[in-house]
C-alpha cells in the first residue's frame, strides 16, 4: 500500500511537471519579458540617438556663432582699414597743399625782401638828417611800416604752414604704420574666418550623416518647420503694432534679396519629403543680402534648421524672412530701406549650399515669393 502510494505520488509529481512545462502562461510570460527587454533596448537606443542629435545641433549652433563672430571681426577690420586708407589720402592731399602753400609763401617773402631792399637804399635815418620834404618822408615811413607788417605776417604764415606740414607728416607716418598693422590683423582675421567656415561645414556634414543613419530627416524637417511657424505666429502680434504701407502695391516689382541661381522653388519637395514654403537662392558666401522693400526688423537671431534668420515687417500683415545667413547686419527695431544690406550669405543652420532661404508671409501664411519679385 505504501509502495502504491509512493508510485502514485511520484506519478502525480511527474504529471504536474509535464503540465507546468506545457502551461501557456509560462510561455507568454517569457515572450512578454523578451518584448519588454527589446522595448527597453530600443528606447535606450533612441535616447542615445536623440542625445547624439542634440549634441550635433548644439555643435552646429556653436559653429554658426563662431563663424558669425569671425565674419563680423573681418568686416570691422576691413572698415577700419578703409577708414585708415581714406585718412591717408586726405593727409597726402593736405600735405601736397601745404607744400604748395609753403613754396608760394616763400616766393612772396622773397618778393617783399627785394622790394624792402630797394626801398632801403633811402635810409630812414639819412632821410631824417637830410630833412627832405615832409610829404615824401611821410610816404617813405608808411612804406616802411607796410613792408614790415607784411613781412611779419608772411613770416608767421610760413611758420604756421611749416608747423602744420610737420604735424601732417608725423600723422602720415603714424597712419602708415597703423595701416601695416591693420593689414596683418585683417589677414589673421581672414584665416580665423576660413578655419571657422571649415569647422562649420564639417559640423553640417556630421549632422547630415547622423540624420541619414537614424532615418530622421523628415522628423527633423518637421521639427524645424514647426519651430519656424511658432516664431512667425509669435511675430504676427508684434508686426500688427507697426504702421507700414505693406507690399500689395508693389506686387511683381519687389527686388530680389540676392542675385543668384534659384536652386529651390516654392512648394517643391525638399530633401526629406516636405514641401518648401520659400525659395532658396544660391550665392557667394559672404556676399550681401538686401531688403526687398522698406520695413522694420522684428526678428534677428539663430533658429534651428534655418540658422541666422532675419525677419522684416512691411506692414499690413506682410513679412519677409531671410535664412541661412552667415551673419546679420541689423538688429530688432531698426528701420531698413529697400535694397539696404541686412545680412551676409552663408550656410548656417545645416545648409550644404551657400545661399539665402527667402519667404514672404501674408498674415502669417507663406505665399509664392516669385509672384511678388521682379521677373528675371
pLDDT (average), residues 168-186? 76
Query: Alpha-carbon distance 87 to 81, whole Å?
Result: 10
**pLDDT-based confidence at 310, cuts 50/70/90?**
very high
pLDDT (average), residues 237-261? 85
| Alpha-carbon torsion (269, 309, 226, 55), positive or negative | positive
Q: What pLDDT is attached to residue 103?
A: 78
Q: What pLDDT is attached to residue 123?
A: 52
- Contact indicator for 258, 355 with CB cutoff of 8 Å: yes
Could you report the per-residue pLDDT of 313-322, keeping only the tens digit for each?
A: 999 889 999 9
**pLDDT-based confidence at 301, cuts 50/70/90?**
very high
pLDDT greater than 60 at residue 3: no
Q: Residue by residue, what is the 3-state secondary structure of the chain?
A: CHHHHHHHHHHHHHHHHHHHHCCHHHHHHHHHHHHHHHHHHHHHHHHHHHHHHHHHHHHHHHHHHHHHHHHHHHHHHHHHHHHHHHHHHHHHHHHHHHHHHHHHHHHHHHHHHHHHHHHCCCCHHHHHHCCCCHHHHHHHHHHHHHHHHHHHHHHHHHHHHHHHHHHHHHHHHHHHHHHHHHHHHHHHHHHHHHHHHHHHHHHHHHHHHHHHHHCCHHHHHHHHHHHHHHHHHHHHHHHCCCCCCCCHHHCCCECCCCCCCEEECCCCECCCCCECCCEEEECCCCCEEECCCCEEEEEEEEECCCEEEEEEEEECCEEEEEEEEEEECCCCCCEECCCCEEEEEECCCCCCCCEEEEEEEECCEEECHHHCECCC
Could you report the per-residue pLDDT of 20-54, keeping only the tens digit for each?
A: 555 555 666 676 566 666 666 666 666 666 676 67
Could you report the per-residue pLDDT of 54-92, keeping only the tens digit for each?
A: 777 777 778 788 888 878 888 888 888 788 788 778 878
Amino acid at each position: 500500500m505504501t509502495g502504491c502510494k509512493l508510485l502514485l505520488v511520484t506519478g502525480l509529481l511527474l504529471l504536474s511537471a509535464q503540465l507546468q512545462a506545457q502551461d501557456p502562461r509560462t510561455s507568454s510570460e517569457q515572450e512578454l519579458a523578451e518584448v519588454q527587454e527589446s522595448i527597453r533596448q530600443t528606447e535606450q537606443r533612441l535616447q542615445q540617438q536623440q542625445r547624439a542629435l542634440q549634441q550635433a545641433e548644439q555643435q552646429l549652433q556653436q559653429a554658426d556663432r563662431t563663424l558669425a563672430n569671425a565674419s563680423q571681426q573681418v568686416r570691422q577690420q576691413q572698415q577700419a582699414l578703409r577708414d585708415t586708407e581714406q585718412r591717408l589720402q586726405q593727409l597726402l592731399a593736405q600735405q601736397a597743399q601745404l607744400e604748395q602753400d609753403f613754396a608760394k609763401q616763400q616766393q612772396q617773402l622773397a618778393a617783399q625782401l627785394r622790394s624792402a631792399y630797394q626801398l632801403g637804399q633811402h635810409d630812414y635815418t639819412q632821410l631824417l638828417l637830410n630833412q627832405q620834404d615832409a610829404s615824401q618822408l611821410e610816404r617813405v615811413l608808411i612804406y616802411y611800416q607796410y613792408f614790415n607788417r607784411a613781412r611779419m605776417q608772411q613770416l608767421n604764415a610760413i611758420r604756421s604752414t611749416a608747423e602744420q606740414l610737420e604735424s601732417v607728416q608725423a600723422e602720415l607716418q603714424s597712419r602708415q604704420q597703423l595701416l601695416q598693422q591693420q593689414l596683418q590683423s585683417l589677414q589673421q582675421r581672414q584665416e580665423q574666418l576660413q578655419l571657422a567656415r571649415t569647422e562649420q561645414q564639417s559640423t553640417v556634414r556630421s549632422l547630415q550623416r547622423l540624420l541619414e543613419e537614424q532615418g530622421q530627416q523628415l522628423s527633423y524637417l518637421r521639427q524645424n518647420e514647426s519651430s519656424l511657424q511658432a516664431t512667425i505666429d509669435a511675430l504676427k502680434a508684434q508686426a500688427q503694432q507697426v504702421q507700414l504701407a505693406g507690399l500689395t502695391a508693389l506686387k511683381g516689382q519687389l527686388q530680389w534679396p540676392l542675385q543668384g541661381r534659384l536652386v529651390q522653388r516654392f512648394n517643391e519637395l525638399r530633401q526629406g519629403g516636405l514641401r518648401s514654403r520659400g525659395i532658396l537662392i544660391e550665392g557667394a558666401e559672404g556676399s550681401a543680402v538686401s531688403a526687398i522693400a522698406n520695413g522694420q526688423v522684428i526678428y534677428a537671431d539663430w533658429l534651428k534648421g534655418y540658422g541666422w534668420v532675419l525677419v522684416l515687417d512691411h506692414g499690413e500683415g506682410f513679412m519677409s524672412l531671410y535664412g541661412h545667413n552667415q551673419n546679420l547686419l541689423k538688429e530688432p527695431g531698426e528701420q531698413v530701406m529697400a535694397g539696404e544690406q541686412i545680412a551676409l550669405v552663408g550656410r548656417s543652420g545645416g545648409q550644404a549650399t551657400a545661399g539665402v532661404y527667402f519667404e514672404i508671409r501674408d498674415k502669417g501664411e507663406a505665399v509664392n515669393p516669385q509672384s511678388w519679385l521682379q521677373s528675371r
